């Protein structure tokens, strides 16, 4: 029997909160292994990998970072890096000149302001070259255990489809969603939303017919609702 899409029209604040938290619980059950898909061993490696991930897939970044991490171990190493050598290593991630500038500048700032260590506060992270709130929250949530919401393209798309917020500005989305979901859940919610966006709730044609939160989603029907058609759209990682 066809599922009926949720109707957010006239929804109370309490109903919105309850629906959002129910979606989060279902996504937690659906993706129990959700995690950051960038490979790293310490905060500095994650910071570098996240900078590289701009306009690039995690899979491609993970192909590049083993060489980069074997060559550069500390912030001082990155700060003193040969620009042309770094550019060649990260070339395949795209925008390699700008990313090299960001990584070297970020590392120099770490050495000058933080004794070569990655700070554990968002206010300090966003002052580093090439580091915005999204990157800062990735590092805080996954390297320091500090709850944070990562608003990437998948997260933003899903918040609109779930009718959690009409905002388009990432910072406003972050605050809006943060008011719906308990703070302790923020980092894992980000992973679950990103995993769901990559695997089922695609930008062009979501696999609505096999979506675990279909009954709670106002956008149900954007993609095929027949299970036989929807299942063919489901993707699995790693993502290229």
Question: Do residues 223 and 140 share a domain?
Answer: no
Query: Would residue 1 count as lying in a domain?
Result: no
Domain hosting residue 106, numbered range: 43-144
Does residue 152 have an active-site annotation? yes
Cα–Cα distance measured from residue 48 to residue 135, given in angstroms and rounded to the nearest whole number: 10
pLDDT digits (tens, 9 = 90+) for 119-178: 999 999 999 999 999 999 999 999 999 999 999 999 999 999 999 999 999 999 999 999
Query: Would residue 35 count as lying in a domain?
Result: no
Question: Do residues 71 and 121 share a domain?
Answer: yes
Which of the listed residues 98, 116, 144 is the one where a domain comes to its end? 144
Does residue 134 have an active-site annotation? yes
**CA 72 from centre of chain:** 25
Question: Do residues 175 and 104 share a domain?
Answer: no
Domain count, the chain: 2
Question: Do residues 26 and 104 share a domain?
Answer: no
Question: Do residues 106 and 92 share a domain?
Answer: yes
Q: Looking at residue 132, which CATH number applies to its domain?
A: 1.10.340.30
Question: Do residues 26 and 90 share a domain?
Answer: no
Query: For tokens 């917020």, what's the residue?
Result: 165
pLDDT at 168: 96
134, 183, 229, 232: the catalytic one is 134
Q: Could you give the maximum distance between any two Cα atoms of the chain, in Å?
A: 63
82, 152, 169, 229: the catalytic one is 152
pLDDT at 3: 66
Q: Report long-range pairs for 64-73 (Cβ below 8 Å, ≥24 apart).
A: 64/89, 64/90, 64/92, 64/93, 65/38, 65/39, 65/40, 66/39, 69/41, 69/45
pLDDT at 238: 65
Question: Do residues 47 and 139 share a domain?
Answer: yes
The residues of the chain scoring below 50 in pLDDT are 1-2, 240
Query: Would residue 36 count as lying in a domain?
Result: no
Question: Do residues 87 and 100 share a domain?
Answer: yes
Question: Do residues 18 and 59 share a domain?
Answer: no
CA dihedral (40, 129, 145, 61) in degrees, to 10, reads -30
pTM: 0.91
pLDDT at 203: 96
Which of the listed residues 144, 170, 191 is the one where a domain comes to its end? 144
Question: Do residues 121 and 169 share a domain?
Answer: no
Question: Do residues 18 and 65 share a domain?
Answer: no
Query: Would residue 4 count as lying in a domain?
Result: no
């Amino acid at each position: 029997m066809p599922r009926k899409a949720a109707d957010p029209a006239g929804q109370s604040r309490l109903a919105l909160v309850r629906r959002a938290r129910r979606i989060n619980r279902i996504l937690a059950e659906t993706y129990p292994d959700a995690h950051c898909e960038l490979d790293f061993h310490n905060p500095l490696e994650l910071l570098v990998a996240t900078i590289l991930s701009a306009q690039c897939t995690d899979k491609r970044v993970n192909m590049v970072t083993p060489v980069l991490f074997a060559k550069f171990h500390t912030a001082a190493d990155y700060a003193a890096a040969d620009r042309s050598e770094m550019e060649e290593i990260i070339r395949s991630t795209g925008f390699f000149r700008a990313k090299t500038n960001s990584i070297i500048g970020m590392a120099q700032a770490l050495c000058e302001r933080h004794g070569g260590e990655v700070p554990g506060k968002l206010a300090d992270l966003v002052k580093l070259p090439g580091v915005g709130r999204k990157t800062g929250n990735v590092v805080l949530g996954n390297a320091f255990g500090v709850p944070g919401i990562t608003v990437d393209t998948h997260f933003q798309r899903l918040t609109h489809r779930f009718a959690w917020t009409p905002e388009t500005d990432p910072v406003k989305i972050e605050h809006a969603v943060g008011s719906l979901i308990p703070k302790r859940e923020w980092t894992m919610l980000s992973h679950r939303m990103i995993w769901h966006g990559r695997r089922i709730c695609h930008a062009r044609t979501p696999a609505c017919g096999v979506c675990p939160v279909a009954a709670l989603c106002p956008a149900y029907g954007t993609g095929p609702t027949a299970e036989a058609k929807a299942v063919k759209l489901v993707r699995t990682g790693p993502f290229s």
